[in-house]
Amino acid sequence: KPSNSLCSLLPHDEYWILSKRIVTPEGVTSGAVEVKGGTIVSVVEGVQAGELPQGNVVDYGDAVVMPGLVDVHAHLDEPGKEEWEGFSSGTKAAAAGGITTLIDMPLNSVPSTVSEETLRLKVDAAQQKIYVDVGFWGGLVPENAFNKTALEGLLNAGVLGLKSFMCPSGINDFPMTDKNHIKEGLQTLAKYKRPLLVHAELQLDPDSSIELNDGLENPQSYMTYLKTRPTSMEEAAIKELLDVAEDTKLGGTAEGAHLHVVHLSDAQTSLDLIKEAKSRGASLTVETCPHYLAFSAEEIQDGDTRYKCAPPIRDAANKEKLWKALNEEHIDMLSSDHSPSAPELKLLNEGDFLRAWGGISSLQFVLPATWSYGRRYGITLNQLASWWSERPAKLAGQDLKGAIVSGNHADIVVWEPDAEFELDENHYVHHKHRNISAYMGKRLSGKVLATYQNSKKAFPGTVAGCRNHCDKAL
């Protein structure tokens, strides 16, 4: 149930969104998207405002009309960690950033979403608070991995798939899984034709970070942190995963299940291993996140723990390779991995990279961030729609989302690629804590003008002619 403080669009059940740049799977076209009862009825090519019923038309000129973003990886932290983020602040940030569907991760809230009961707590906590569509991943943890009844209960209760960690997650009630847990979990997922999302880092030598903690190296230097999580950790995890990925092939023991590697940072051997497994027929996809594409380790200032995340942001050469892999379709999609904490845990005063919370806060800015840094690599609007909408919708099993085609949900973002803005103190940020976001202080291009979700306008809330709760809207 969405928030009832949402502002509905125009006082019409049917309306047209007009633009010279509508991004459809066939390409960019000029015309109108016809919406009725929250569904896209048609894309009318070449039509002009004057040819449509007056009053029911919003003409956006040459602003881009694109499918709303589907963020398959965000941590909203409710219930239990309301002081970190929340359904209300998080989904307002999503709407303001052009995200119309967000799939919440099973950890960082208390309790973690690892059973039917804990999923109910999530759903209850979200009631009346959400401004965009929200779905949930469940957790695959040692406790439920060999318990088919428990996993089926969780899947029957509505999680869209499962997520597991191959290294310590930093959350006590979300322990890591090994290869055997994953192999077993995939058997159940096969029956439901659902994916397993994996945080693929494997700690080879647990002692290495202790040495660094002993003060031998400067904990305020990002390079020190980088040494604690080398690319070999991603490589080792992916190597183990590839074994079980074989099971997802046609005719394999887990045919129907799907493996998805979250937030890939290493664009070299780890990516090569993924490519190989794909070519052998494994049902496998991989995502990366805007922070790996926007920033590089060399430019992170000493003590600026806003940039601490796992896996870490690597060097500039790696960043170039990530863009190349995206452009060549070896990386399938993007996600935010919005993972904020209470500001105190970022230890911004001490600037200790080894002890600060690892997680990037970015939700509201992922579209302009991808565009601002990506336009230098010649990315197209259709690529953006594919990485941010079409493929993530498919991963989450949302067949009626992710593309502007008739019959789909009217989930739409309207944005202006050439409009620039400064993320300074005057910029309205909906995240619970603006100061911990890695993008604050940056200048970005790509301004979201409006976000439509089903029969509503989710952002901005105040619309001419709307008499519905505008005071409470965004």
Ligand X SMILES: NC(=O)N[C@H]1NC(=O)NC1=O
Catalog residues that contact ligand X under the rule CB under 6 A: 75, 107-108, 169-171, 199, 309-310, 339, 358-359
Show the tokens assigned to 106. Answer: 């099973």
What is the distance between the alpha carbons of residues 279 and 273, in angstroms, rounded to a whole number? 10
Contact yes or no for 71/28 (Cβ under 8 A) = no
Q: Would you give the DSSP letter of residue 245?
A: H
Nearer to ligand X, 107 or 440 (CB): 107
Nearer to ligand X, 154 or 167 (CB): 167
The site partner of 162 among ligand X, Zn ion, none (C-beta below 5 to 8 Å per kind) is: none
Residue 254 dihedral angles phi and psi, to the nearest 5°: -120, 35
3-state secondary structure 281-331: CCCEEEEECHHHHHCCHHHCCCCCHHHCCCCCCCCHHHHHHHHHHHHCCCC
Instruction: Report the run of H or E that residue 21 belongs to, with start and end.
Output: strand 14-24
Name the closest residue to Zn ion (Cβ).
199
For tokens 């039509």, the residue is 47
Nearer to ligand X, 197 or 458 (CB): 197
Strand ranges inside 37-141, DSSP E: 39-45, 57-59, 64-67, 69-74, 99-104, 133-136, 138-139
Nearer to Zn ion, 229 or 330 (CB): 229
Instruction: Report the run of H or E that residue 141 belongs to, with start and end.
Output: none
Contact yes or no for 259/244 (Cβ under 8 A) = yes
Helices (H) and strands (E) in the chain, counts: 14, 17
Nearer to ligand X, 77 or 247 (CB): 77
| Residue 199 touches Zn ion, criterion: CB under 5 A | yes
Show the tokens assigned to 11. Answer: 């006082």
| Cis peptide upstream of residue 230 (ω within 30 degrees of 0) | no
**Among 337, 346, 451, 454, which residue interacts with Zn ion (rule: CB under 5 A)?**
337
What is the distance between the alpha carbons of residues 39 and 408, in angstroms, rounded to a whole number? 6
Closest CB 235 distance from ligand X, rounded Å: 17
| Residue 247 touches Zn ion, criterion: CB under 5 A | no
Closest CB 34 distance from Zn ion, rounded Å: 37
Nearer to ligand X, 358 or 374 (CB): 358
The site partner of 412 among ligand X, Zn ion, none (C-beta below 5 to 8 Å per kind) is: none
Nearer to ligand X, 24 or 336 (CB): 336
The site partner of 34 among ligand X, Zn ion, none (C-beta below 5 to 8 Å per kind) is: none
Closest CB 1 distance from Zn ion, rounded Å: 25
Closest CB 330 distance from Zn ion, rounded Å: 20
Closest CB 457 distance from ligand X, rounded Å: 31
Q: Which stretch binds Zn ion (CB under 5 A): 148-156, 206-214, 318-326, 339-347?
A: 339-347
What is the distance between the alpha carbons of residues 222 and 302, in angstroms, rounded to a whole number? 6
Nearer to ligand X, 277 or 310 (CB): 310
| Cis peptide upstream of residue 111 (ω within 30 degrees of 0) | yes
The site partner of 38 among ligand X, Zn ion, none (C-beta below 5 to 8 Å per kind) is: none
Closest CB 75 distance from Zn ion, rounded Å: 6
Closest CB 8 distance from ligand X, rounded Å: 34
For tokens 């894309």, the residue is 43
The site partner of 171 among Zn ion, ligand X, none (C-beta below 5 to 8 Å per kind) is: ligand X
Closest CB 108 distance from Zn ion, rounded Å: 8
Closest CB 271 distance from ligand X, rounded Å: 18
Contact yes or no for 120/356 (Cβ under 8 A) = no
| Residue 71 touches Zn ion, criterion: CB under 5 A | no
Q: Which stretch binds Zn ion (CB under 5 A): 82-90, 196-204, 314-322, 366-374?
A: 196-204
The residues binding Zn ion (CB under 5 A) are 199, 337, 339
